[in-house]
Homo-oligomer: A and B are copies of this chain.
Amino acid sequence: MSESDGKVSAKDTEEVIMEATFRALSEHGYSELRMRDIGDEMELTRQVIHYHYDGKYDLLSSFLEYVIDQYEGSVEVKADADLRTELDARIDQCLFGPEFGEFTHWDRMKVYHELYAQAQNDDRHREIFNEHYERLRGSVVEVIEAGVEAGVFREVDAKQMGQLITDVIHAARGRRISLGHEDAPEQARRAIDDFVLDSLEVED
């Protein structure tokens, strides 16, 4: 578990740059962002950015991975929870997010959704998003499949249902951010319950 001083320091520097990027993006938005805005948000000299990253594009790709890691790394579900509870927890996590560190779930999602819209023009970002999307949907599908297999959920196409739920989560977050619908995540939660999940459980 011991790391050389040099390695620790490089890791710290990268984190400082990532946090500065977060602040700069929150303030200026993606389309207006300049490297100097990121430099203005940190105490280190701007040259360290150029040392670690091969331009704005490379920096933003690393930043996207950083945000996604933070988001995925924090899913917590009790091991002894029943499957519906586990499904609920995973959906809540995506909709309402974990809170930790300097930035809120919605600070992270704001940046995430802005980069998502840009991914059409960007193969590397698209790939990062696709892998993330796959994992998110997979984590919902997995629980539905387990429930069907255990006979507590009715027979459904788990992949199709997992996709539907992932789409609704994504759209609700986007509505809150882009249109200012503060209650979009709660609305989505109720709709998923009423129209999708409540029909899933097998009656005793």
Residues on A close to B: CB < 8 A? 29-31, 110, 113-114, 116-121, 126, 129-130, 133, 157, 160-161, 163-164, 166-168, 170-172, 174-175, 177-180, 187-188, 190-192, 194-196, 199
Instruction: Report yes or no: B191 in contact with A164, Cβ–Cβ below 8 A.
Output: yes
Contact of A114 among B120, B126, B129 (CB under 8 A): B120
Instruction: Report yes or no: B118 in contact with A174, Cβ–Cβ below 8 A.
Output: no
Instruction: Report yes or no: B168 in contact with A167, Cβ–Cβ below 8 A.
Output: yes
A200: nearest residue on chain B (CB-CB)?
Answer: B195
Q: How far is the CA of A26 from the CA of B16 in the complex (A)?
A: 35
What would 18 more interface pairs be, CB under 8 Å, given A120-B177, A160-B195?
Answer: A29-B121, A113-B120, A114-B117, A116-B178, A117-B118, A117-B174, A119-B179, A126-B180, A160-B190, A161-B191, A164-B168, A164-B191, A167-B168, A167-B188, A168-B171, A170-B175, A195-B195, A195-B199
Contact of A167 among B114, B130, B175 (CB under 8 A): B175
Q: How far is the CA of A114 from the CA of B180 in the complex (A)?
A: 17
Q: Chain B nearest CB: distance from A141 CB in Å?
A: 13
Q: Chain B nearest CB: distance from A10 CB in Å?
A: 30
Q: Chain B nearest CB: distance from A111 CB in Å?
A: 10
Q: How far is the CA of A174 from the CA of B120 in the complex (A)?
A: 9
| A126-B180, A167-B188, A174-B174 known; A161-B120 Cβ under 8 A | no
Q: How far is the CA of A126 from the CA of B179 in the complex (A)?
A: 6
Instruction: Report yes or no: A117 in contact with B191, Cβ–Cβ below 8 A.
Output: no
